[in-house]
Amino acid sequence: FLIGGGSALGLAVRESGLLTILTDSVRSRLATSPWLLVVQLMALLVAATTFVSHTVAALVLMPLVVSLGRDAGIDRLAVLLGAFACSTACALPMTSFPNVNSLLAVDDVGRPWLSVKHFLIAGIPTTVAIALLLISMGYELGELVLG
């Protein structure tokens, strides 16, 4: 249901014209430098996927990334790093099915193995570290590989 609902939401955003409206309103607020644009897009994607499912955020936001990346001449790089950024956030358990599944796991007497606190303790530093790697080394490697 998650993928089906996310696909329907992504299609609705595109077909309704909301994507165009959103792209036009965001474009004027973003940097013109390709690297700064990637930094801003990565921050947006990581922030969004911290609070909602990675799948749904990717289905809704990746068309925006493609459009803004195309306008800046870095569409392939923006898509590559955007796809990684959508899977970066792990500070909260609701971001992916495996995280939710882990949160719901209990021992033999019914006590949960993990709590949200455990996700925050491990997830915040991990999310920040991976995001920084994406906007530094990921950008450079992406340019090298994609030309």
Per-residue pLDDT reduced to its tens digit, 30-44: 888 899 999 999 999
Give the list of residues 6+ apart from residue 39 with CB closer than 8 angstroms, or none. Answer: 31, 135
27: nearest Cα among 72, 59, 61, 63: 72
- Cβ(58)–Cβ(86) below 8 Å: yes
| pLDDT given at position 133 | 94
Per-residue pLDDT reduced to its tens digit, 42-75: 999 999 899 888 888 888 888 889 989 998 899 9
User: pTM of the full predicted structure?
Assistant: 0.80
Per-residue pLDDT reduced to its tens digit, 72-121: 899 999 999 999 999 998 888 888 888 888 888 999 999 999 999 999 99
Sign of the Cα torsion 18, 19, 20, 24 reads: positive
92: nearest Cα among 58, 131, 121: 121
Confidence class for position 4, pLDDT limits 50, 70, 90: low
Please identify which residue in the block is written with the tokens 């006590």.
111
**Residue 52 φ/ψ, nearest 5 degrees:** -130, 170
Q: CA 136, CA 71: separation in Å to the nearest integer?
A: 21
85: nearest Cα among 118, 124, 119, 128: 128
The structure tokens listed for 117 are 């606190």
